[in-house]
């Protein structure tokens, strides 16, 4: 399940919607807030800026110094949130230690919180309330499953990983689509046995090539969310080549889930813009 056709389809939708909004005098805009110059933030930022350009969405980047004090950071973020021309805010994390994320997550208004930092959006994911914004990565994984017509209703889904940005929201999104979901983590006993029962296996653990064919049921659909650097190469959490004989469908790394996230980001900006402007 390559990500590109999925991303292309979402991009076309977002572009059409951006055009429609502009004809109504509304210019959708994303603001990216980055503290410091982490290489993975910069790589994602470049991809996001390019995607917004393709979709006809305005995009600005606010870069703040790594040693910015908490109070100044809050002031800057509040100013971005209060800017009426901005519809969606993407804040790169983790933030430096001096900044208290527990305060930060309440600063971005839920309507502009397109990557699910604000607890109100987290609650909406739990409730299955589609007016909110689940994080872009699990949303991208769901878009892939939808695009490739994977049946989720009644399926047995196993999610490896329980982070707030991938594992937990992924489990909730699968549950919303009527899958029966098991969440696994580093303290789970008999991991291969649990995984082997999965019709849908989602790996989001950040351990290069950990998931071998021994974890995979015949005919399973596997989503590899992992992005790891292993010996200079980008690898997933799944041993893709080894599992190819067993799976019915699998996402590659790179060119899988990661290539769909900026398209979802664009779609979220359009959605926030429409909701804010009642268009
Ligand atoms: P975290 O480190 O926050 O979470 C990892 C999760 O995996 C934890 O819940 C942890 O369990 C669990 N885990 C770790 N080791 C094992 C193990 N041996 N067995 C079972 N479970 C284990 O990572 P993220 O959720 O942020 O990211 C996960 C992966 O997804 C990473 O590779 C990351 O790079 C990638 N990613 C990809 C994106 C994309 O666009 N494709 C975007 C975001 C992330 P515990 O809770 O017990 O510690």
| Cis amide prior to 22 (ω within 30 degrees) | no
Q: 191 alpha carbon to ligand 1 midpoint, in Å?
A: 15
Residue-level pLDDT at 139:
98
Q: Is the CB of 165 under 6 A from ligand 1?
A: yes
Residue 47 is predicted with a pLDDT of 97
pTM for this predicted structure:
0.97
Fold of 18-111: Rossmann fold (3.40.50)
Residue 279 pLDDT = 86
Q: Give me the count of residues in the chain.
A: 279
Per-residue pLDDT, 233: 94
Residue keyed to tokens 């002031």 = 75
Residue 136: which of 231, 278, 33, 7 has the closest Cα?
A: 7
Q: Which two tokens stand for residue 125?
A: 């994911």
Number of the ligand 1 atom closest to the C-alpha atom of 44 = 40
Architecture of the domain whose range is 136-257: 3-Layer(aba) Sandwich (3.40)
Residue nearest to atom 17 of ligand 1 (CA): 186
- Residue 228 near ligand 1, beta carbon < 6 Å: yes
| Residue 275 beta carbon below 6 angstroms from any ligand 1 atom | no
CA 273 from chain centre, in angstroms, equals 19
Out of 93, 136, 205, give the residue to mutate to test ligand 1, the one with the largest number of ligand atoms within 8 Å of its CB.
205
Please work out whether the CB of residue 56 comes within 6 Å of at least one atom of ligand 1: no
Q: Is 166 in the pocket of ligand 1 (CB under 6 A)?
A: yes
The helix/strand/coil state of 27 is: coil
Give which of 33, 29, 32, 15 is closest to 73, Cα–Cα.
33
Whether the CB of 204 sits within 6 Å of ligand 1 = yes
**C-alpha 17 – ligand 1 centre gap (Å):** 33
Would the CB of 257 count as within 6 Å of ligand 1? yes
> Domain residue spans in the chain?
18-111, 136-257
Q: Which of 133, 117, 43, 134 is nearest to 80 (CA)?
A: 117
Q: Do domains 18-111 and 136-257 have the same CATH topology?
A: yes
Q: Which residues of the chain have pLDDT under 50?
A: none
Q: Can you list the alpha helix ranges (DSSP code H) found in the chain?
A: 4-23, 39-55, 70-82, 101-104, 119-127, 136-147, 167-176, 191-195, 240-243, 261-277
Residue 51 structure tokens: 């995607």
User: What CA–CA distance (Å, rounded) separates 7 from 26?
Assistant: 24
The strand order across the sheet containing 249-250 reads: 180-184, 156-160, 200-203, 221-224, 249-250
């Amino acid at each position: 399940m390559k990500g590109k056709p999925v991303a292309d389809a979402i991009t076309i939708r977002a572009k059409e919607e951006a055009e429609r909004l502009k004809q109504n005098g509304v210019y959708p805009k994303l603001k990216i807030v980055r503290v410091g110059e982490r290489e993975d933030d910069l790589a994602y930022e470049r991809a996001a800026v390019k995607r917004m350009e393709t979709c006809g969405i305005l995009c600005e980047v606010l870069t703040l110094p790594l040693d910015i004090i908490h109070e100044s950071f809050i002031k800057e973020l509040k100013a971005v949130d209060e800017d009426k021309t901005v519809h969606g805010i993407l804040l790169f994390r983790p933030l430096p230690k001096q900044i208290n994320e527990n305060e930060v997550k309440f600063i971005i208004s839920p309507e502009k919180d397109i990557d699910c930092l604000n607890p109100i959006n987290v609650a909406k994911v739990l409730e299955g309330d589609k007016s909110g914004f689940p994080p872009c990565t699990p949303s991208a994984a769901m878009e892939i499953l939808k695009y490739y017509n994977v049946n989720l209703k009644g399926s047995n889904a196993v999610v490896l990983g329980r982070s707030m940005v991938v594992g937990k929201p992924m489990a909730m999104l699968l549950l919303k689509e009527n899958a029966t979901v098991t969440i696994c983590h580093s303290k789970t006993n008999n991991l291969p046995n649990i995984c082997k029962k999965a019709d849908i296996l989602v790996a989001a653990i950040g351990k290069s090539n950990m998931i071998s064919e021994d974890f995979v049921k015949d005919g399973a659909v596997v989503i590899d969310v992992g992005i790891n650097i292993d010996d200079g190469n980008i690898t997933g959490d799944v041993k893709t080549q080894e599992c190819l004989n067993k799976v019915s469908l699998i996402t590659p790394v790179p060119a899988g889930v990661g290539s769909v996230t900026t398209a979802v980001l664009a779609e979220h900006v359009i959605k926030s813009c429409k909701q804010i402007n009642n268009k």
